[in-house]
Amino acid sequence: MDGINSCEDSEVADLLSSPEGSQNIDIGKQIFCNSAVNMKNIVAVGFDMDYTLAQYKPDTFESLAYDGTVEKLVSNLGYPKELLEWSFDWTYMVRGLVLDKKRGNILKMDRHKYVKVAHHGFRLISKDEKVATYGNTFIKDAFDGPDYAHIDTLFSLAEAYLFAQLVDFKDSNPSKISEAKDYARIYNDVRSAVDMCHRDGTLKEMVARDPKKYINEDNSIVPMLKMLKTSGRAVFIVTNSLWDYTNVVMNFVFGARTMDGSSSLTLDWLQHFDFVITGSAKPGFFHDENRANIFMVETNSGMLINTDNGTPLAQVGGPAVELPDQIPNKKCRVFQGGNVGHLHKLLNVGSSSQVLYVGDHIYGDILRSKKILGWRTMLIVPELEKEVRVLSSSWDTRKKLQLLRVERDQIENQTHHLKWSIEYVFPRAGRMGKVDEKANMNTQVQGARVRAAHQESQRSFHQKFHPVWGQLMKTGYQNSRFAHQVERFACLYTSQVGNLALYSPAKYYRPGEDFMAHESSVISK
């Protein structure tokens, strides 16, 4: 492994010798903390593979998934051939959106599940229509269940975009899609087509042919893993991908690459891990009562060897089973299936709080492992790097917004007071002067001006982040639904997994102080 990513052991030594890790870390590479994590107490660090250790290129990988889904809709599910002429804008959708399958709407909500931005297909829904649809009910909608789909992974962006295209297409061409196919049925067809693409292996085959086209190169992964191993941690992978695809992807992530990005398959990358669990079927994997069998993978052939909690079992009438001797570091073993109980026995941890798991999927990686097991969690949010850079460069804009909001509140309060006085106080006193009416009119005009300026400034600010959906972690002044999930379930979050290499392996990550509304008001004065 001498040539892997030009990694030098001295880099690891430098990090280990620094009590607080590297100083002055770039804002886009920092690790942010919601819940305290003392790395001295972590004895095992685990990783998801897809969109965690392996960062896919959205412009090529998601387009590949999109094209495959469209082809399945046309060839297998009877959709018009003109769909084959469509293209995918990988920049349009963002994570955290909710699809209203019944109405054909795409929603962005705040942490309280109030709809703040809504589109029907690609058409922006007016405020009045939005309130009429989602605000005039006696029972608040939870936006869960069969009528809604959550776009919480980067894998889901292509299907959300295709759903919006099909909603617009159905509205504009009602005769070209069967009346029996309402918006919900269309969404289910899209999901079925996506599943077909994954089942027939088309996507993985294309990635395996040319991984450089679909996966980003990241030279920070090897130093980070070496640092963890050198500091005494057990390091493992739990991925839903099967062994053959895992081996292809990890060879690209870790292997010495030729000019065209090709890399001969070896097992060298396994030296960085103690255990690799493939075909894990997360999030079900995180339930100890899940009775899935665990098999050892014979890495050359891909054959599965039945095991007893990870220990190979001799087959009836067959020779004794030994660990495959072709693995350079025999400490690493590769498995398929099983559940978290098997993993805990393999890791020999004393408690679940000694495990840190790093993944990209709120539900598949983070929520279950944190909520059910009590693992420490780190969420990978690639979009965060741009988000924090824009935020960091927008200090003046944010200050202007705060001042406009204060001015708007003051004028609205003055307007309401004058209106109340004119309607209720002055009539009872037997007097109401023209001066009071004029003051009221002037205040209303001034209020309308400040309100318009505030709304326009706020709109411009959010469009700096994304022209359609605005800031990923906010809707107006509230945390977005996605941000609320990150805050609840991710102890740590950062833009790339390699950012761990920028901090000491003994670092104590501490969250900032929480503020309630009354505290913020006092402190900000």
Dihedral pair phi/psi, residue 413, rounded to 5°: -65, -40
Instruction: Identify which of 513, 495, 506, 509 has the alpha carbon closest to the alpha carbon of residue 26.
Output: 495
Catalytic residue among 50, 67, 100, 110: 50
Evaluate the omega torsion of the peptide bond into residue 283 and state whether it is cis, within 30 degrees of 0: yes
- 195 known ligand binder: no
Dihedral pair phi/psi, residue 135, rounded to 5°: -115, -10
**Residue 336 DSSP one-character state:** E
The residues facing 306 across adjacent strands are 295
Please say whether the beta carbons of 346 and 322 come within 8 A: no
Helices 183-199 and 63-77 cross at an angle (nearest 10°) of 110
Residue 481 sits at the vertex; the CA angle it makes with 480 and 483, to the nearest 5 degrees, is 65
Q: What is the C-alpha to C-alpha distance for residues 182 and 104, in angstroms, rounded to an integer?
A: 9
Chain position carrying tokens 């082809």: 71
Catalytic residue among 2, 14, 48, 396: 48
- 360 known ligand binder: yes
Exposed, middle or buried: residue 144 (CB in 10 Å: 0-12, 13-18, 19+)? exposed
Helices 157-172 and 183-199 cross at an angle (nearest 10°) of 140
For residue 103, give the 3-state DSSP assignment: coil
Q: What is the C-alpha to C-alpha distance for residues 184 and 171, in angstroms, rounded to an integer?
A: 14
- CA gyration radius for the chain? 27
Is 210 part of the annotated catalytic residue set? no
Is 50 part of the annotated catalytic residue set? yes
Residue 407 token pair: 């001015």
Dihedral pair phi/psi, residue 394, rounded to 5°: -115, 30
Share of the chain residues as helix, strand and coil, in percent rounded to the nearest 5: 45, 15, 40
Please say whether the beta carbons of 473 and 381 come within 8 A: no
Residue 127 token pair: 């405020």
Please say whether the beta carbons of 480 and 108 come within 8 A: yes
Chain position carrying tokens 């003994």: 506
What one-character-per-residue DSSP string does 463-490 give?
HTT-TTT--TTEETTEEBHHHHHHHHH-
Known binding-site residue numbers for Mg(2+): 48, 360
**Binding site, annotated residues:** 48, 50, 360
Residues marked active site are found at 48, 50
